[in-house]
Structure 1
Amino acid sequence: MAEAGLTIFDGSHLSVVDVSLPPPPIDTTITGAEVLHLAETRASLSLLGFVLPETLKSSAIRRIGVSDTAGFLSQKLDHTDACTYLRNYISAIADEFNDDPIAVTILNGGSLNMFLEDEDDFAMLAENLFTDLDVEDTGKISKGEIQSALAHMGIESGVPSVSEYPQLNDILKKHEAAGKEELGQAQFAQLLQHVLQELADSLAKKPVVVVLRSIKLANGSKLRKLLAKERLLDDAVKKITEEKFECSGDQSRATQIKSYLKKHEDDFGLPPSQLPEMTALFDEIFTEVESENDAAESGRDSSAVFLKKILEKIAEKLEANPILYDIQLSQLEEA
């Protein structure tokens, strides 16, 4: 079985979470800490065991109106209030994922088994790894280099890091404790095979969810937040009108706004403008908006209306067709 591949965790994964509490004994209370722990556990189970980041939990707690977290943790709640907080907290966690989806891959040993089942592929892998690790070209490497070999393989090959999968450390210790301290290429290949097979078996029993931190999904959520706050929108209009552009002073308002959005794409939660998808999206939206009657109006108020219309259309397009992109690859293309 191959790896589960790229998965996007968003609020939809929490739509089936149980938000009920069993009927309590008479006069029984439950603490805020117990409610939060129960909600986080149920949410995590719906996300294949993914551990919720502390920043996400803190934001979700604020969403449900809890300003004093320490006080809430010790607060005693009756059954009705506990049910309400449980339901609202899980909903808040879902909203956090909707606003900032997380790209993950689920390592279940499938890719490793594919390597191990193909003798030619595995032999080439082991040879390449040995060559990379034998930096002094002695024909021997330390047994401890097996961990470096796994790091070279990485997530792309289905190998988690020790920090992501602590069980890997136990597997390494067991195999490093036996046999010779230095390995030739054949011995290294044999050890690597044993380690990878045990790791594959372990992952099959207990898969691990690994966050792909360089992968982002733009779905318009940041734009929707900006559009909901008039002050933020007004600030954006002010900055656009004050921006010093490289183009001539008679450039159109649409050109100014497009230049500004490209220059400050991160502030608006937009994918890199050099992506083909964004080039097409900008061309489509600005052509559409410029053709409307109020595009010819002038003045600060009309600029705000014009900008709002553009941002609304971008948010709508991204919500309907989110853009997945690799931050590192985009940065390389830009450089």
Structure 2
Amino acid sequence: MSNAGLTIFDGAVLRSIDLNLPELEHGVTGAQLLEISESKVSESLSGLSLPQHIKEAAISRVSAGDDVSFRRAEFNREQATEKLGVFVSAVADALTDTPVVVSILDGSTLKLILEDEDDFAMLAENLFTDLDEEDKGKLPKSQIRKALSLMGAEMGVPPLSDFPIIDDIIKKHNADGDEKLGQAQFAELLQPILQEIAHVLHEKPITIVQNVEIFNGSKLRKILADEKTLKCLVEKTVLEESKWKDNQGRADLIKNLMIENGKELGLPPLSSENESVALLYETIQSQLTKRDKETSDASTEEEFMDALKDILGRFAELLESTPVYSATTL
């Protein structure tokens, strides 16, 4: 599944992974099997290296919590195939609960920017202006490195930690010195560097894990299926029993509950900076108001819970059809 240049691995692709193992003449150790398992999973996920917490969860399940003994054990082909299936299922389950969002950088984004002279000119101008904090009209060549960092994965430039060849490209173009450059000269130096980065990425794309949280309604549906957890969340917000009967304020009570317990419910944070989120909450508020007008003045706890479940169910449907992606600080 993809969105705006992002690829989302939610475990679905692993459900149909080929579990055939290479021919084994003398069986395989647990340590070797883990290497094979990680390799197969990574290959299915466009070369993505598994995040450490997901890998540890998969190893714990396949080894029944005894990693050391498992790595030393010997398995025949049939046993190894079974263990491989357990490992893959564990990773798929983890990705279903917490999908991983990545950018696959293959140079195409940079190529599009470079092919349009106006787009590139505007990009170079904006980068120069952002870096020229003292408004001197000159920047040292070494600021090219910072310009690449400012562009980031969103514009197709991988971080130096994942793409150390950037260092070689910068040195090749003599872009690490203190010589001062004007805006036009800065753009002239930046262009071939970006062209070379695009070429290298085209030959060998890399996958970058993004710090993006996905809200697609899956967590909300789990909460709705757990009556006890949902009731606890309600009791945290609606403390006085008399409030159940305050039908006029029921819409506000439900909205406040959703905002105050948003993280536990799996709801996107209400932010004025995210128009799609604001629109979702406006839609839900409209449905709450409409529901209140259509119901009687009296409201029991049971009726309140029914109203809450109905609204949260609609929110889950909206998120499922239109997932929300939010930057996070993982």
Equivalents in 2 of 1:74, 1:228: separation in Å?
A: 41
Does residue 250 in structure 1 map to residue 253 in structure 2?
Answer: no
CA contact (8 A) 1:7 1:104 kept: yes
Does residue 30 in structure 1 map to residue 28 in structure 2?
Answer: yes
270, 279, 303: which one pairs with 1:276?
279
173, 176, 179: which one pairs with 2:174?
176
- Cα deviation, residue 322, structure 1: 4.7
Does residue 218 in structure 1 map to residue 221 in structure 2?
Answer: no
Does residue 49 in structure 1 map to residue 52 in structure 2?
Answer: no
Superposition CA RMSD, Å: 3.8
Q: Following superposition of structure 1 onto structure 2, how do residues 98-109 of structure 1 map, counting pairs within 5 Å?
A: 98-109=96-107
CA contact (8 A) 1:289 1:310 kept: no
- Cα deviation, residue 152, structure 1: 2.3
Equivalents in 1 of 2:219, 2:195: separation in Å?
A: 44
Equivalents in 2 of 1:78, 1:304: separation in Å?
A: 58
SS of aligned partner of 1:197: helix
Question: Structure 1 residues 45, 240: closer, same or farther in 2, change over 3 A?
Answer: same
Equivalents in 1 of 2:6, 2:240: separation in Å?
A: 39
Aligned twin of 1:232: 229
Question: Structure 1 residues 40, 227: closer, same or farther in 2, change over 3 A?
Answer: farther
Aligned twin of 1:130: 128
SS of aligned partner of 2:142: helix
- Cα deviation, residue 200, structure 1: 0.6
Counterpart residue type for residue 12 of structure 1: A
CA contact (8 A) 2:218 2:316 kept: no
Residues 237-287 of structure 1, C-alpha deviation per residue, up to 9 Å, x if partnerless? Answer: 443443799x89734667544431222111111123553124424655896
Question: Structure 1 residues 232, 138: closer, same or farther in 2, change over 3 A?
Answer: closer
Does residue 79 in structure 1 map to residue 77 in structure 2?
Answer: yes
Question: Structure 1 residues 306, 174: closer, same or farther in 2, change over 3 A?
Answer: same
List gaps (5 residues or longer) in structure 2.
Answer: 271-276
Does residue 148 in structure 1 map to residue 140 in structure 2?
Answer: no
Aligned twin of 1:9: 9
- Cα deviation, residue 314, structure 1: 4.9
Equivalents in 1 of 2:306, 2:77: separation in Å?
A: 50
Equivalents in 1 of 2:54, 2:45: separation in Å?
A: 14
Does residue 266 in structure 1 map to residue 237 in structure 2?
Answer: no
For normalisation by structure 1, the TM-score amounts to: 0.77
SS of aligned partner of 1:19: coil
CA contact (8 A) 1:116 1:122 kept: yes
Question: Structure 1 residues 309, 128: closer, same or farther in 2, change over 3 A?
Answer: closer
- Cα deviation, residue 39, structure 1: 2.0
CA contact (8 A) 1:33 1:72 kept: yes
- Cα deviation, residue 83, structure 1: 1.0
Counterpart residue type for residue 11 of structure 1: G
SS of aligned partner of 1:216: strand
- Cα deviation, residue 192, structure 1: 1.2
Question: Structure 1 residues 150, 184: closer, same or farther in 2, change over 3 A?
Answer: same
Aligned twin of 2:326: 326
Question: Structure 1 residues 175, 243: closer, same or farther in 2, change over 3 A?
Answer: farther
Does residue 115 in structure 1 map to residue 113 in structure 2?
Answer: yes
Counterpart residue type for residue 250 of structure 1: D
CA contact (8 A) 2:28 2:74 kept: yes
CA contact (8 A) 1:271 1:278 kept: no
Question: Structure 1 residues 155, 58: closer, same or farther in 2, change over 3 A?
Answer: same
Equivalents in 2 of 1:73, 1:265: separation in Å?
A: 41
SS of aligned partner of 1:191: helix
Matched residue count = 318
SS of aligned partner of 2:173: helix
Aligned twin of 2:274: none
Residues 270-327 of structure 1, C-alpha deviation per residue, up to 9 Å, x if partnerless? Answer: 123553124424655896799899xx8846xx47973884487358625742522334
Equivalents in 2 of 1:193, 1:219: separation in Å?
A: 39
Equivalents in 1 of 2:289, 2:77: separation in Å?
A: 53
Question: Structure 1 residues 189, 33: closer, same or farther in 2, change over 3 A?
Answer: same
Counterpart residue type for residue 33 of structure 1: A
For normalisation by structure 2, the TM-score amounts to: 0.78
- Cα deviation, residue 99, structure 1: 1.4
CA contact (8 A) 2:141 2:175 kept: no
Counterpart residue type for residue 52 of structure 1: L
CA contact (8 A) 1:286 1:310 kept: no
